[in-house]
Amino acid sequence: MRFFDGIMLVWRNLLRRKSRTFLTALGVAIGTAAIVGMIALAIGLKENAIKSFDNFQDLTVLDVYPGWRETAGPEQMIKLTEKSVAEIKKIPGVVGVMPQMGLYTNVEVQMGRMVGDSMQVIGVDASEAENFGFELEEGSFLSGAKNEAVISYLVPDYMYQKQRNSRKNKEEENYYMDPFGEDTFNKPRLDMVNKTLNLTLTRYTGENNFETRTFKVRVKGMLKEGKGQWGPTIYLPMDLVQEMNRWLGNTGSDTERNRGKNQAEYETLQVKVASRTEVQQVVDGIKALGYQTWSPMEAIEEINSFFNVVQLILGGIGAISLLVASIGIMNTMFMSILERTREIGIMKVLGATIPNIREMFLLESGLIGFLGGLSGLAVGYIFVTLVNMAPQSGLFDMTGEEIGKIAVIPPWLVAFALGFSIFIGVISGLLPAHRAAKISPLQALRQE
Amino acid sequence: MTGSIEIYDLKHTFKLGKVDVPVLHGINLQVKPGEFVALCGASGSGKSTLLNLVGGLAKPTQGKIVVNDTDITSLNENQLCIFRQKNLGFIFQSYNLIPSLTALENVELTLIFAGIPPKERKEKAQAFLELVGLADRMHHKPNELSGGQQQRVSIARALVNNPSVVLADEPTGNLDSRNGQEIMNLMRKINREGKRTFLVVTHDLSLAKLADRIIFLRDGLVVEEVVA
């Protein structure tokens, strides 16, 4: 018997008992729809969670902190030094290592009549900027000269005009500038590249006396908007920030000692990894060296495993309904054999072989499964579309840019749903088909 | 030899619950290729059982049946299915057409199991329906056909796979005498033209007289042979 002929014969049999076929397939459809809907939901939620993470920061950049060596005595610090940089660079997958040092005070930034505060100042090793894939909106990277700066894209937005009659408006002078306020969007962006900034630090000298010192830096460039840029940040050469910290008196005793050894000690190192797949390996490598680090990939792994469990549970609920559907198919097939015993007998007399008969019944139950799976998939699609149309309050991702879909049906799920429903159909048909094949033609023909 | 039937010392016992009911008590019979043989006897004489055993629809308790030089008593069930497909045609008293299929499709069914491609299948089925005089009834379902017409469809179905042996169990039993006569004549014609062996069970002597040979059974034994 040719496969297509078998399908045609089976199809006509199913059409003969339309309502029974419909009801049996409906069982499969409900099961399939449940599985598809549930898994689509789990996948959608997972994708959303990961996507928000992804937009949140560059997943290939790791922050490395000094580590603690556990010894018998008091814990010993494993400092971040030039040696650490060299060590970490040797780990496969590491593209660049950028030492960083923060400034521990508020800096007043002034450019002409514009001022700004609450900006982060970070000292960096400028030579690595390009390895990190930083892109400039304008200007150039730090050249290595001392009094230079690169600003993040948000810095101009945080600059505001100092009030002229400062006496009168003294209270308002330092009001918190809302960066997303109406003013910000209406006024043209301040051009800061190739201008000179005055960075003024203030230190307490005791007895309510304050002392200020102003550092002049030239803005060489401005970074493009991008991942991992949180707010207004001014990047300065490492040396300059070290000098500022010394002046502020924030230099810890360790640093004092290190200066004697002529070896800089860093607060953090930023490590750029070539690709996401290598992140875990680099994290492990860095941890093995004794430093502390944390990768957003670890969080994503956790999200993944959490949602895999959710997926399993939701899929399992659907699977139970498919199991019930499979019992329905079996029942229908046994009924069908009882009704068609005589017909099966005739077919055997006409030369249908035992595999022919078995094949016909397996095709029939498989086709019921397929029809159910197909309509279940359609229902699943409708469900997913409706869910995604629902008001999505609270499902903006963290950057607020994109609204993620709540439920997603990837191609593999379509294939899985169809394959699984056919599989369920065929499995449910095994026993009935075996029984049909065993029918004795003579006894079948005697039956009226 | 193609179309030959040889039966040696055939015994068969039915089991009805715990009671054994012997039906055939040792039958010996030779049918030559192309011969038209009628099996006659009262009901319960074992003629239908004999026919079913020759068709491989049941296994005899004892004895040997050789059809087309094949000992069918040694075949397993699936081999019997294939043997029937290639060598045998069946005609039943109650036609045994499949009600959901048209006349043409009923005839095609045999060829479907033989794996014949659709076009060839259709041509053959049409040719045999024309042969039995049903060219204008091909697309009717069995319940839209008269008894005689249904039996013609079943004859076409029995012939379409080109069997060398045709087994008919009371083919005229459900028909009036005129239709019965026509069906018998049709089978005789096909027997002569196609050189196919026919083994026909009937209790109607007037029809049996058309055969080359009439074999009378009584209580599971051959009691008389009449050569027409």
Q: Would you call A3 an interface residue with chain B, using a CB distance cutoff of 8 Å?
A: no
Best A350, A356, A447 member to test B by mutation, with max B CBs in 10 Å, is A350
Q: Give residues 307 to 346 of A whose Cβ lies within 8 Å of B.
A: 342-343, 346
pLDDT digits (tens, 9 = 90+) for B109-123: 999 998 899 999 999
Q: Would you call A440 an interface residue with chain B, using a CB distance cutoff of 8 Å?
A: yes
Q: Which residues on chain B are in Cβ contact (under 8 Å) with A348?
A: 81, 84
Q: Are A325 and A28 in contact (CB under 8 A)?
A: yes
A351 and B52 within 8 Å at the Cβ level: the answer is no
Q: Which residues on chain B are in Cβ contact (under 8 Å) with A9?
A: 112
Enumerate residues 6+ apart whose C-beta is below 8 A from A391: none
Q: What is the domain range of residue A117?
A: 105-249
pLDDT at A392: 55
Question: Does residue A430 fall inside a structural domain?
Answer: yes
**What percentage of chain B exceeds 90 in pLDDT?**
63
Per-residue tokens: A102:
């923060």
Domain containing residue A69: CATH number? 3.30.70
Q: What is the 3-state secondary structure (H, E, C) of A183-237?
A: HHHHCCCCCCCCCEEEEEEEEEEECCEEEEEEEEEEEEEEECCCCCCCCCEEEEE
- Rounded distance between C-alpha atoms, residue A237 and residue A217, angstroms: 10
pLDDT at B102: 93
Enumerate residues 6+ apart whose C-beta is below 8 A from B84: A348, A349, A350, A351, B55, B56, B90
Kindly tell me if the per-residue pLDDT of A96 is higher than 80: yes
B161 and A351 within 8 Å at the Cβ level: the answer is yes
pLDDT at B125: 94
Same domain membership, residue A404 and residue A352: yes
What is the pLDDT confidence band of residue A120, given thresholds at 50, 70 and 90? confident
Q: Give the closest-approach CA distance of B35 to chain A in angstroms.
A: 22
Nearest CA in chain B to A341: B98
- Rounded distance between C-alpha atoms, residue A107 and residue A117, angstroms: 6
Best B95, B112, B155, B201 member to test A by mutation, with max A CBs in 10 Å, is B112
Angle, vertex CA A246, rays to CA A243 and CA A251, nearest 5:
130
Same domain membership, residue A229 and residue A153: yes
Same domain membership, residue A185 and residue A88: no
What mean pLDDT do residues A157-184 have? 56
pLDDT at A229: 63
ipTM of the assembly? 0.91
pLDDT digits (tens, 9 = 90+) for A273-283: 888 778 888 88
Kindly tell me if the per-residue pLDDT of A354 is higher than 80: yes
pLDDT at A292: 84
A13 and B115 within 8 Å at the Cβ level: the answer is no
pLDDT at A174: 46
Same domain membership, residue A433 and residue A326: yes
What mean pLDDT do residues A296-315 have? 80
Q: Give the closest-approach CA distance of B227 to chain A in angstroms.
A: 30
- Rounded distance between C-alpha atoms, residue A422 and residue A372, angstroms: 9
More confident residue, A226 or B144: B144
Highest mean pLDDT among A59-63, A157-161, A282-286: A282-286
pLDDT digits (tens, 9 = 90+) for B89-101: 999 999 999 988 9
Separation of CA B95 from chain center:
11
- Rounded distance between C-alpha atoms, residue B36 and residue B196, angstroms: 8
Q: Pick from A300, A302, A388: which is nearest to A37 by CA?
A: A388
Q: Which residues on chain B are in Cβ contact (under 8 Å) with A5?
A: 112, 118
More confident residue, B175 or A260: B175
What mean pLDDT do residues B73-83 have? 91
Distances (CA, A) of A410 to A44, A200, A381, A415, B152: 10, 55, 11, 9, 57
Same domain membership, residue A429 and residue A411: yes
Q: Which residues on chain A are in Cβ contact (under 8 Å) with B141?
A: none
Q: Would you call A405 an interface residue with chain B, using a CB distance cutoff of 8 Å?
A: no
pLDDT at B151: 93
DSSP summary character for residue A102: E
Question: Does residue A197 fall inside a structural domain?
Answer: yes
What mean pLDDT do residues B52-57 have? 92
B85 and A16 within 8 Å at the Cβ level: the answer is no
Q: Pick from B112, B154, B171: which is nearest to B145 by CA?
A: B154
Rg (CA), chain A: 35
The one-letter amino acid code at A427 reads I
Same domain membership, residue A212 and residue A146: yes
B82 and A353 within 8 Å at the Cβ level: the answer is yes
pLDDT digits (tens, 9 = 90+) for A237-246: 888 888 888 8
**What percentage of chain A exceeds 90 in pLDDT?**
19
| Contacts A–B by Cβ distance under 8 A | 65
Select the residue of B55, B77, B112 nearest A1 (Cβ to Cβ): B112
Kindly tell me if the per-residue pLDDT of A423 is higher than 80: yes
Best A9, A18, A342, A349 member to test B by mutation, with max B CBs in 10 Å, is A349
Q: Which residues on chain A are in Cβ contact (under 8 Å) with B109?
A: 347, 350
Same domain membership, residue A270 and residue A242: no
Question: Does residue A255 fall inside a structural domain?
Answer: no
Q: Give the closest-approach CA distance of B114 to chain A in angstroms.
A: 6
Same domain membership, residue A284 and residue A226: no
What mean pLDDT do residues A88-97 have? 86
Q: Which residues on chain B are in Cβ contact (under 8 Å) with A354?
A: 77-78, 81
Same domain membership, residue A215 and residue A342: no
Nearest CA in chain B to A353: B81
Distances (CA, A) of B24 to B15, B28, B203: 13, 11, 18
Average predicted confidence (pLDDT) for chain A: 80
Select the residue of A5, A343, A445 nearest B112 (Cβ to Cβ): A5
- Rounded distance between C-alpha atoms, residue B36 and residue B211, angstroms: 5
B78 and A351 within 8 Å at the Cβ level: the answer is no
pLDDT at A228: 58
Which has the minimum average pLDDT: A37-41, A292-296, B58-62, B152-156?
A292-296
Question: Does residue A254 fall inside a structural domain?
Answer: no
Question: Does residue A257 fall inside a structural domain?
Answer: no
Select the residue of A12, A352, A440 nearest B113 (Cβ to Cβ): A352
Per-residue tokens: A421:
């429903």
Q: Would you call A433 an interface residue with chain B, using a CB distance cutoff of 8 Å?
A: no
pLDDT at A259: 44
Q: Give the closest-approach CA distance of B85 to chain A in angstroms.
A: 4
Q: Are A44 and A404 in contact (CB under 8 A)?
A: yes
Distances (CA, A) of B199 to B7, B145, B215: 13, 26, 10
Nearest CA in chain B to A13: B100
More confident residue, A225 or A32: A32
Same domain membership, residue A331 and residue A282: no
Distances (CA, A) of A160 to A112, A154, A171, A188, B91: 11, 13, 15, 12, 103
Q: Is B140 exposed, middle or buried (0-12, 13-18, 19+ CB in 10 A)?
A: middle
Question: Does residue A390 fall inside a structural domain?
Answer: yes
DSSP summary character for residue A72: S
Same domain membership, residue A379 and residue A432: yes
Q: Which residues on chain B are in Cβ contact (under 8 Å) with A13?
A: 100
DSSP summary character for residue B66: E
B113 and A349 within 8 Å at the Cβ level: the answer is no
Q: Which residues of B touch A (CB under 8 A)?
A: 52, 55, 57-58, 77-78, 81-82, 84-86, 90, 92, 96, 98, 100-101, 109-110, 112-115, 117-118, 157, 161
Chain position carrying tokens 């024309």: B130
Q: Are A448 and A349 in contact (CB under 8 A)?
A: no
Kindly tell me if the per-residue pLDDT of B154 is higher than 90: yes
What is the pLDDT confidence band of residue A178, given thresholds at 50, 70 and 90? low
What mean pLDDT do residues B146-172 have? 92
Question: Does residue A204 fall inside a structural domain?
Answer: yes
> Count of domains in chain A?
3
Kindly tell me if the per-residue pLDDT of A298 is higher than 80: no
Question: Does residue A256 fall inside a structural domain?
Answer: no
- Rounded distance between C-alpha atoms, residue A173 and residue A268, angstroms: 34
Kindly tell me if the per-residue pLDDT of A70 is higher than 70: no
pTM to 2 decimals?
0.68
- Rounded distance between C-alpha atoms, residue A121 and residue A231, angstroms: 11
**What percentage of chain B exceeds 70 in pLDDT?**
100
Kindly tell me if the per-residue pLDDT of A256 is higher than 60: no
What mean pLDDT do residues A414-435 have? 93
Q: Give the closest-approach CA distance of A344 to chain B in angstroms.
A: 10
Highest mean pLDDT among A134-148, A256-270, B171-185: B171-185
pLDDT at A391: 59
Select the residue of A13, A351, A354 nearest B114 (Cβ to Cβ): A351
More confident residue, A252 or B203: B203
pLDDT at B198: 94
Q: Would you call A353 an interface residue with chain B, using a CB distance cutoff of 8 Å?
A: yes
Q: Which domains does chain B have, with CATH numbers?
A: 34-57+77-227 (3.40.50.300)
Kindly tell me if the per-residue pLDDT of A170 is higher than 70: no
Nearest CA in chain B to A11: B100
What is the pLDDT confidence band of residue A262, given thresholds at 50, 70 and 90? very low
Q: Are B39 and B59 in contact (CB under 8 A)?
A: no
What mean pLDDT do residues A93-102 have? 84
Same domain membership, residue A406 and residue A323: yes
pLDDT digits (tens, 9 = 90+) for A52-66: 776 666 778 888 888
Q: Are B63 and B7 in contact (CB under 8 A)?
A: yes
Per-residue tokens: B186:
């049709």
